[in-house]
Structure 1
Amino acid sequence: LGIISTIAGKGDYVILDIDSHASIYDGCKMGDAEIVAFRHNDVEALEKRLKRLPPEAGKLVVLEGVYSMLGDIAPLKEMIRVSKENGAMVLVDEAHSMGFIGEHGRGVAEAQGVLDDVDFIIGTFSKSVGTVGGFCVSNHPKFEILRLVCRPYVFTASLPPSVVATAATSIRKLMHGSNKRAHLWENSKKLHKGLRDLGFTLGTDEPQSAIIAVIMPDLERGAMMWEALLEEGLYVNLARPPATPAGMTLLRCSLCAEHSGEQVTEILARFDRAGKRAGIIG
């Protein structure tokens, strides 16, 4: 919330993906910058928006490594190139990729080899790190001034030492968790392929992250499918507008490295039974 509204002020522009997380939109609303949205993951649309803006204006492009609803990744390398060519700084939210994607689990920017080209990286401790809080890191020479001028930061109490210690320990484990990352990738591939083979419509053609989105025909049948899965003893998130892109209803599956291959097989069996009972698949 605080970083975007502090970096971009009156007379500046924040250029963001139209499918950005609600917290990013809230951060934009807190500031005085002009908001310019572009079509989801569309490099050409981003470039067109940037070229229409005044060359002398401050510009901040806000992207996400993994988008939380469909689980798809951003073409960061191309988007960062276009942003830099048009004089914009780049902020990447790695909340849904940290710990899983990249050689050391640092996210999509690491995986695509553009970590040093990103001006600001933000993330959360509430997902793969398993605690609470968040962070922003940057190599910008004046980054430390944000500690004094970012109002949500200044007027928020510090995290308890126990939480900080837990987060630090978890991050160190994630950095060396290549085996767990590899196992999670196998889980993601297996679930994605299994759901497609059963006849479900998914949010991505190929598995891109630990998030697998199962698209429902409409809200009513999505709720029926969600309840059928609950009766099977399986919980997934039912996501609906306005939280979802393009007004769609979906079931959002979030895998973790602790799921065994046998458990993923059982998840598929329960989806099969629930899907047939709810009339989603034949």
Structure 2
Amino acid sequence: MMAAVTKPTIGFIGTGVMGKSMAGHLLTAGYPVHVYNRTKAKAEDLISSGAVWNDTVAELSSEADVIITMVGYPKDVEETYLGEDGILAHAKEDAYVIDMTTSSPMLAKKIYEAAKQKNIHALDAPVSGGDIGAREARLAIMVGGDEAAFEAVRPIFEKMGANIIYQGSAGAGQHTKMCNQIAIASGMIGVCEAMVYAKRAGLDPENVLKSISTGAAGSWSLSNLAPRMLKGDFEPGFYIKHFIKDMSIALEAAEEMGMMTPGLKLTKSLYDELAEKGEENKGTQALYRLIDEQV
């Protein structure tokens, strides 16, 4: 009789809006999952479902074969990977480390080089699809790093996403995510303006949405976020503060390449205005409210 293949132990750091669902899918698939989050309460459901809690990043890193991070900002990524008590200081040799945070392409390259010095395989693998994509395991996953490492952990990606594409060397996943965020940015303005226009014109916005969401104007934001706008649901599937972070990274990278991004600059200025009004913890669909309140 053939021996059963043992699944690798996965360490998951960052069990927030999206990370919680992503780690949950890995648990359901039968992987041993260890979790760490700065706020333990956000991991309680996973712990109840069988995940093992670790008190520190260092402890988790020393016990896992594959370490996945889904944290907030590039500074969090840098500290989590490169800090004295971080992942690379404590991970096993030949471990796989996968940052699924939307972060800086340059930082992804820095982590890759530092990991390589320790015989650790590093991938940058940001995602798109929001809380819905995370819950339904339909995320788009864009991966940078060594292709052999990508192929080795592809079965893990397949438990969390449906559109999984290797994009190239270290940093390529993050650059691809910047393309994604740039495309979303100006599109969000259009979705919000269209819904406010329908309301001001005296139309039934939900009926309007039925007509325009399946035509040339169709988009993920129109189909998934416009209904939330119309219901007054501005809770986060994706935080405004994180979208501002992403747009800042994209603007910096575009400037380094000598590229003009007028749509991106305008969108960021509007979201900055929302953040100044104390809306940074709302979902990106709250831009609707800013436009609707302009008289």
Identify the TM-score tier after normalising by the shorter chain: 0.3 to 0.5
Which structure dedicates a bigger proportion of its chain to helix? 2
Normalization by structure 2: what TM-score? 0.39
TM-score, length of structure 1 as denominator length: 0.41
